[in-house]
A and B are shown apart, each in its own frame.
Chain A
Amino acid sequence: MKEQLEAIRVEALERIAEVEDIKTLQDIRITYLGKKGSLTSVLKGMGKLSKEERPVVGEIANKVRDAITTSLEAKIEVLENAALEKQLEAESIDVTLPGRPVKVGGPHLLTSIVEEIEDLFIGMGYEIKEGPEVETDYFNFEALNLPKNHPARDMQDTFYITNELLLRTHTSPVQARTMREYKGIKPFKMICPGKVYRRDNDDATHSHQFTQIEGLYVDKNVRMSDLKGTLDTFAKKMFGEDRSIRLRPSFFPFTEPSVEMDISCKVCNGEGCSVCKGTGWIEILGGGMVHPNVLEMAGYDPQVYSGFAFGMGPERIAMLKYGVNDIRTFYTNDVRFLKQYHQA
């Protein structure tokens, strides 16, 4: 009987080794291990064995069963893996073909610049104020120390609607409005971005509509060195830590003293090149200490309060930072231009 069992084991393992499909393996299981299978029929003859022999043969029979089962399962796994492999092979695709496109939109470059500047000043404790684009002569000029017939009004050619209403020529009226909102008592820091308009012929460097960001800080004991430090911080964040700034005296009716700020030229590192017209510096913004008349008109006592203000043009910043060479480009909205600054 031992010989019989051994013969079954050898034969079964040989057959399992030869098989190449799962169906035949199921047949083999039935042939050897099934209720009518050869191992079962051999074991049916166990009754004829002596009491001593029975456990010995039983153990051998169990070993044979285990050997066949293990071999069957191992073979099934091999065959299943092979089948899956074959299926994956059949499913393969050309991964070098393009993906399904996602529609990509994006911000206008000027929006990106404005938001970058907004975030930078928010970080320094500034709030953002907005105001109307159609302004009164009072807020656009008079409240800013530019009475009617002031010579400096010639500096700005204005689109008038009526004698008293106009398209704002700068975002400064928002400053005048904010000072009145805070009633001459509350210290504040604000910036005001927005669209402004000038009576200019559109060309590579002029646009009748453009954007501006101005800032204003009013408090007790505001110093001109605070303006210098603030603008320096701004310039380094906006244009790079290696930039330096230069302040020059200038003139604006709403500030005294007034400054013009240059940053060192990125192209030539201050050596002088065509971009900076050989000076090593590029003019970037204007500002100054708020004129006492402006404070006083808004209800802030210039003996107690002082302030600084500054203003800049995002178009100019974009032109310098990204090398855009025609201001009209921002307003023609050529899709090939807009796409260049998706990520900006």
Chain B
Amino acid sequence: MLVSYNWLKNYVDLGEITPEELAEKITKSGIEVEGVEYVAEESADVVIGYVASCEKHPDADKLNLCQVNVGEETLQIVCGAPNVEQGQKVAVAKPGAKLPGGIKIKRVKLRGVESNGMICSLQELGMDEKYIPSQFADGIFVFPEDAPVGESVNTYLNLDDAVLELDVLANRADAMSMLGVAYEVAAILGEDVNLPEESVTFSEDESAEDYISVNVDAKDLNPYYGAFLIKDVEIKPSPLWMRNYLMAAGIRPINNVVDITNYVLMEYGQPLHAFDYDRFNSKEILVRRAVEGEKIVTLDDQERTLTSDMLVITNGSVPTAIAGVMGGANTEVVEGTKTVLLEAAYFEGSSIRKTVKETGLRSESSSRFEKGVDPNRVKKAGLRACQLLQQYANGKVLTGVAEHDDLDKAEKVVSVITDAINERLGTEITDSELGDIFQRLQFSFDQNENSFTIHVPTRRKDITIFEDMVEEVARIYGYDKLPYTLPQGSNQAGALTGRQLVKRRIKRFMQGAGLMETLTYSLTNEKSVKQLMSPEVKAQNPVPVSLSLPMSEDRKYLRLSILPELLKTLSYNEARNQSDLAYYELGSVFISDETLLTKQPKEQLRLAAALTGKWTEQPWQQEKKEVDFFVAKGIIEGLFNFLNLEVTFKPAKLDNMHHGRTAVIELNENTVGFVGQIHPTLAKELDLRETYVMEVNIDSLLSAFNNVPSYEDIPRYPAVTRDIAFILDKETLAGEVKQKIKEAGAPLVNSVQIFDLYEGANLPEGKKSIAYRLLYQDPNKTLKDEEVDASYERIIETINSEFGAYVRS
């Protein structure tokens, strides 16, 4: 809402307060003023002049030679504007004057003829092009005949006006009008509101009802419809002051009838619509829901197809306007219009909102209906417009109004007790202070000591309950005067839950392991959403969850794996020559097997990581260490170790992964994730080099995790280590052998570690040697050599029979 400071002065005495100070006060009381702008950026030293004569320039077709009377003197000015004529009153910048934008006016010779100044257009005076009336858009501005010669144009053109830009939120529909803002400002300043006049002299011989009847079919959406009739209107420009105010409010002046409806719209917050009665082609207004597929050409010359949700004004047969949104071209007020049919109506916001959504037409009118207009101002606005049409269009207003009226105009009653307000705010406001606040708001009330019964004016639709009144009191009292206290009530200990704590620890572990945390988008595209799903996710046959109205194809599906978007961040960095990357992310994936979602998808917390390039940055005194499978695996092993969880790895062939360098991760025999190298083809597609990824289901890990590990005695007896190297077939998995060693060695073998892998010379073809270190421990006694030897032999026998392996000597 753009509020002209000068216009506002008509309703409230603003005294000496500057526009900026006013803006600050309004903001602090609840309506944010986003900015204060002046109609002209700088005031110009320009006066009103009279064009005494205007002849063609002797040497230039497009230039005119004008003698312009500016009061004390007559200046010869060469003017290039196409619309300059003798007898006009125009804006003249005299030599020495400075125009906005820094142009300085000098005496010059144009094609040999002396020119002592400049006749200005509104643009040259610093006004915004988009609000300038079309007849002056391409030339100089022409003042009304009564403009006083020699006077400054600044006040005359309202160039010194300041415009406050109010950000009116959905609850304050009342502030969408000059009167509403006036009430607000009056309450803030403790001033009175001067209401405008609605004094119409009706033409006694005829009444509106002789010409039109109003029938409302859709009574639920249109509780009030009033039709006024104004005959013999003279279409011409509206008065300059009105045009000035409209331009300041961001509305381009058109002609007097249109300007008056717009002026009252801004003044009362009540949208009005003027039809050309002679083109209405009927004596009946019928308001009804549109027939599905019905068509109308609107004022902007667009043909619109209507739906049965939309409300239309018809002449009994065809639509003449989309109610509250836009009029039809067929009944538009034009140059030759003689009789105006003026609509002042109340349309339900919900219906208008739907129509706006479907047609995409949003206007000053629709936005007010959407938020809700004041039921007690509808008819008054119509009368105000009639008065102005009488004054400025020489119209003859017929007696009465043809109307349909079952609008509820009753005021809401809200009761408050001073103590209750103070209890809610933490304040000590007295009864008389409270009464004073209601008075400033111009709410009428009955007071019985500390008990108030308040009649809330219908303009304030936002106030219906006690809490609304608490806010009114607080904002007029001043939020800055509220004391600072801390909650007095019941206290609880604040702490992270076990799950939240472990989540943080997992992050710390990953960071400590050298990975940077990332945050990527949950939304991805159709191709990525199917990539790099962990096998246990894929096993659930998930259907990607998609948005019904995405912003782009790239952000349409909820991720089923963190990895595709994470890999894109690697590509982003690679493209900027940042190539050694170790990233991780902890976040949700969204799993559902429904094609048409009827319930929320399962949100599973997963940990993803992606590594590429050198693992050791700036290697020094050691060889360059590129990331490989075992770096990635080591991180996972470390994490599970850290959480005291035992995990196993099994080779796997997964889509988009290197078939020989990928493993699934199992926890208690359930797959919980995977780790490996991404397929070189995918890497190439993403412009990545050798890249390793992992993804783990953290939810399953959290449920297996024991936050309070039980105490185990530190072994008191010495442990015995034995090393053993087996010659194995190359295909035999070291991990499986390790598992068998553990089983065969139980319960004495406490741990088994692989510490060497040898392939090459001195070994038979197709064989490899793997060395294991066995740790024997008995918690209750010192182990005897015989016991260890017996176990050792058992292990060798088992591995020999299971894998055909033998001990390397």
Which A residues are closer than 8 A to B by beta carbons? 97-108, 110-111, 115, 118, 121-128, 130, 132-136, 149-152, 154-155, 159-162, 165, 167, 187-189, 195, 197, 199-201, 208-209, 217, 219-226, 228-230, 232-233, 246-251, 253, 256-260, 289, 291-292, 306, 330-336, 338-339
Q: Is B600 an interface residue (CB 8 A)?
A: yes
Assess the B350–A335 pair: CB atoms within 8 A.
no
Assess the B482–A332 pair: CB atoms within 8 A.
no
Instruction: Determine how close the nearest CB of chain B comes to the CB of A282; give it in whole angstroms.
Output: 14
From A123, A159, A246, residue with most partner B Cβ within 10 Å: A159
Which residues of B lie under 8 Å from residue A124 when comparing CB positions? 494
Given contacts A125-B492, A257-B470, 10 further A-B contacts (CB under 8 A): A105-B513, A149-B350, A152-B169, A159-B547, A199-B551, A223-B423, A225-B482, A257-B471, A333-B572, A336-B578
> How long is the Cα–Cα vector from A118 to B349 in the complex, in angstroms?
41
Which residues of A lie under 8 Å from residue B425 when comparing CB positions? 223-225
Assess the A257–B485 pair: CB atoms within 8 A.
no
Q: Is B540 an interface residue (CB 8 A)?
A: no
Assess the A111–B601 pair: CB atoms within 8 A.
no
Which B residues are closer than 8 A to A by beta carbons? 27-30, 32, 169-172, 349-350, 353-354, 370-371, 423-427, 465-468, 470-471, 474-475, 479-480, 482-497, 500, 504, 507, 510-523, 545-551, 555, 558, 569, 572-573, 576, 578, 581-584, 587-588, 590, 596-601, 603, 615-622
Q: A249-B475, A335-B573 are in contact. Are A104 and B489 (CB under 8 A)?
A: no
Q: A103-B513, A134-B590 are in contact. Are A199 and B549 (CB under 8 A)?
A: yes
Closest to B508 in A: A107
Assess the A335–B578 pair: CB atoms within 8 A.
yes
> How long is the Cα–Cα vector from A256 to B462 in the complex, in angstroms?
11
Closest to A97 in B: B620
B interface secondary structure, majority: loop
Which residues of B lie under 8 Å from residue A195 when comparing CB positions? 522, 587
Assess the B516–A133 pair: CB atoms within 8 A.
no
Assess the A256–B494 pair: CB atoms within 8 A.
no
Which residues of A lie under 8 Å from residue B549 when comparing CB positions? 159-160, 199
Assess the A333–B424 pair: CB atoms within 8 A.
no
> How long is the Cα–Cα vector from A103 to B619 in the complex, in angstroms?
11
Instruction: Determine how close the nearest CB of chain B comes to the CB of A4; give it in whole angstroms.
Output: 61
Which residues of A lie under 8 Å from residue B470 when comparing CB positions? 224, 256-257, 289
Assess the B30–A249 pair: CB atoms within 8 A.
yes
Can you offer 5 A-B residue contacts whose CB atoms are under 8 A? A133-B522, A197-B523, A228-B426, A248-B27, A259-B479
Assess the B548–A161 pair: CB atoms within 8 A.
yes
Assess the B582–A101 pair: CB atoms within 8 A.
no
Assess the A247–B600 pair: CB atoms within 8 A.
no
Instruction: Determine how close the nearest CB of chain A comes to the CB of B311; give it in whole angstroms.
Output: 15
Q: A162-B597, A228-B483, A251-B170 are in contact. Are A151 and B492 (CB under 8 A)?
A: no
Which residues of A lie under 8 Å from residue B486 when comparing CB positions? 226, 229-230, 233
> How long is the Cα–Cα vector from A316 to B160 in the complex, in angstroms?
37
Assess the A133–B603 pair: CB atoms within 8 A.
yes
Assess the B353–A149 pair: CB atoms within 8 A.
yes
Which 5 A-B residue pairs are closest in the complex by CB-CB distance? A103-B514, A225-B426, A249-B30, A257-B471, A223-B426
Q: A152-B170, A224-B426, A224-B474 are in contact. Are A105 and B350 (CB under 8 A)?
A: no
Closest to A231 in B: B484
Which residues of A lie under 8 Å from residue B370 when comparing CB positions? 151
From B32, B371, B517, residue with most partner A Cβ within 10 Å: B517
> How long is the Cα–Cα vector from A339 to B121 in the complex, in angstroms?
57
> How long is the Cα–Cα vector from A251 to B31 in the complex, in angstroms?
9
Which residues of A lie under 8 Å from residue B569 when comparing CB positions? 332-333
Assess the B512–A105 pair: CB atoms within 8 A.
yes
Q: A209-B521, A223-B425, A256-B467 are in contact. Are A104 and B514 (CB under 8 A)?
A: yes
Which residues of B lie under 8 Å from residue A246 when comparing CB positions? 28, 479-480
Which residues of B lie under 8 Å from residue A98 when comparing CB positions? 618, 620
Assess the B485–A229 pair: CB atoms within 8 A.
yes
Picked from B171, B583, B603, the residue with its CB within 8 Å of the CB of A132 is B603
> How long is the Cα–Cα vector from A122 to B504 in the complex, in angstroms?
15
Assess the A338–B516 pair: CB atoms within 8 A.
yes
Assess the B488–A110 pair: CB atoms within 8 A.
no
Assess the B522–A209 pair: CB atoms within 8 A.
yes
Assess the A103–B518 pair: CB atoms within 8 A.
no
Picked from B483, B572, B603, the residue with its CB within 8 Å of the CB of A225 is B483
> How long is the Cα–Cα vector from A220 to B489 in the complex, in angstroms?
7
Closest to B349 in A: A151
Assess the A219–B487 pair: CB atoms within 8 A.
yes
Assess the B490–A187 pair: CB atoms within 8 A.
yes
Assess the B29–A100 pair: CB atoms within 8 A.
no
Assess the A201–B30 pair: CB atoms within 8 A.
no
Q: A162-B548, A199-B551, A250-B169 are in contact. Are A100 and B620 (CB under 8 A)?
A: yes
Closest to A148 in B: B350
> How long is the Cα–Cα vector from A330 to B172 in the complex, in angstroms?
35
> How long is the Cα–Cα vector from A312 to B10 in the complex, in angstroms?
40
Assess the B507–A111 pair: CB atoms within 8 A.
yes
Which residues of A lie under 8 Å from residue B548 when comparing CB positions? 160-162
Picked from A111, A161, A223, A339, the residue with its CB within 8 Å of the CB of B545 is A161
> How long is the Cα–Cα vector from A251 to B622 in the complex, in angstroms?
63
> How long is the Cα–Cα vector from A332 to B570 in the complex, in angstroms?
10
Assess the A257–B475 pair: CB atoms within 8 A.
yes
From A100, A107, A128, A223, residue with most partner B Cβ within 10 Å: A223
Closest to A217 in B: B487
Assess the A331–B467 pair: CB atoms within 8 A.
no
Assess the B573–A334 pair: CB atoms within 8 A.
yes
Instruction: Determine how close the nearest CB of chain B comes to the CB of A198; give it in whole angstroms.
Output: 10
> How long is the Cα–Cα vector from A122 to B500 in the complex, in angstroms?
12
Assess the B600–A134 pair: CB atoms within 8 A.
yes
Assess the B618–A111 pair: CB atoms within 8 A.
no
> How long is the Cα–Cα vector from A110 to B507 in the complex, in angstroms?
13
> How long is the Cα–Cα vector from A110 to B587 in the complex, in angstroms?
13
Which residues of B lie under 8 Å from residue A165 when comparing CB positions? 597, 599-600
Assess the B516–A162 pair: CB atoms within 8 A.
no
Instruction: Determine how close the nearest CB of chain A comes to the CB of B806; give it in whole angstroms.
Output: 40
Which residues of A lie under 8 Å from residue B601 when comparing CB positions? 134
> How long is the Cα–Cα vector from A13 to B253 in the complex, in angstroms?
122
Instruction: Determine how close the nearest CB of chain A comes to the CB of B317; give it in whole angstroms.
Output: 31
Q: A162-B548, A199-B549, A333-B520 are in contact. Are A100 and B621 (CB under 8 A)?
A: yes
Which residues of A lie under 8 Å from residue B603 when comparing CB positions? 132-134
Q: A105-B512, A105-B516, A331-B521 are in contact. Are A125 and B583 (CB under 8 A)?
A: no
Which residues of B lie under 8 Å from residue A224 when comparing CB positions? 424-426, 470, 474, 482
Instruction: Determine how close the nearest CB of chain B comes to the CB of A93; give it in whole angstroms.
Output: 10
Q: A101-B616, A246-B480, A306-B424 are in contact. Are A292 and B516 (CB under 8 A)?
A: no
Instruction: Determine how close the nearest CB of chain B comes to the CB of A276; give it in whole angstroms.
Output: 13
Assess the B482–A228 pair: CB atoms within 8 A.
yes
From B28, B487, B515, B597, residue with most partner A Cβ within 10 Å: B487
> How long is the Cα–Cα vector from A333 to B569 in the complex, in angstroms?
6
Which residues of B lie under 8 Å from residue A161 when comparing CB positions? 545-548, 597
Picked from B484, B582, B596, the residue with its CB within 8 Å of the CB of A229 is B484
Which residues of B lie under 8 Å from residue A111 when comparing CB positions? 507, 517, 519
Which residues of A lie under 8 Å from residue B465 when comparing CB positions? 256, 292
> How long is the Cα–Cα vector from A128 to B488 in the complex, in angstroms?
20
> How long is the Cα–Cα vector from A145 to B161 in the complex, in angstroms?
40
Assess the B551–A201 pair: CB atoms within 8 A.
yes
Which residues of A lie under 8 Å from residue B515 when comparing CB positions? 105
> How long is the Cα–Cα vector from A205 to B346 in the complex, in angstroms?
38
Picked from A99, A187, A197, the residue with its CB within 8 Å of the CB of B489 is A187
Assess the B485–A151 pair: CB atoms within 8 A.
no
Closest to B503 in A: A130
Closest to B618 in A: A101
> How long is the Cα–Cα vector from A295 to B588 in the complex, in angstroms?
30
> How long is the Cα–Cα vector from A309 to B475 in the complex, in angstroms?
18
Assess the A256–B516 pair: CB atoms within 8 A.
no
Instruction: Determine how close the nearest CB of chain A comes to the CB of B602; give it in whole angstroms.
Output: 9
Instruction: Determine how close the nearest CB of chain A comes to the CB of B518; give it in whole angstroms.
Output: 4
Picked from B371, B482, B489, the residue with its CB within 8 Å of the CB of A151 is B371
Assess the B588–A108 pair: CB atoms within 8 A.
no
